[in-house]
Amino acid sequence: MISTALVFIGAGIGGALRHGVNLASLRWPGLTFPLGTMAINIVGSGAMGLVVGWFAFRAGEGVPHGMRLFLATGVLGGFTTFSAFSLDAMLLWERGETMLAASYVVGSVVLSLAALTGGMALMRGLS
């Protein structure tokens, strides 16, 4: 139950941060490019690298599992799930699973876009 609460609180913080970045990016006049989302994905992925690297180097010192849940799953998961996607792809790459990593990246992007398109088409058909 405590682990769920840690993820819940962290996700709230991450979501609020994401909302703040999106609001700030709207203040750039004439900007039609989704800069806020792109910035969130890049910053979130960089932060995931820092967090995972910190945990890896501190593993011998016993980083509490709750800290991992709060930061990686909660805060960064609430900020952007793209950071988890980036981590998964990089772990596959580092394990030498190059084709699996490429399949994961291409498959995730293409199938996610297809699912979004299908969901939008379905809702348009229902209206």
Residue 43: count of CB within 10 angstroms of its CB: 18
In three state form, how does the secondary structure of 1-38 look? CHHHHHHHHHHHHHHHHHHHHHHHHCCCCCCCCCHHHH
Annotated binding-site positions for Na(+):
77, 80
Q: Quick one: DSSP state of residue 42?
A: H
Burial of 76 (0-12, 13-18, 19+ CB in 10 A): buried
Contacts of 22 (CB under 8 A, 6+ apart): 36, 37, 40
Annotated binding-site positions:
77, 80
Candidates 6, 2, 1, 5; CA nearest to 72 is: 6
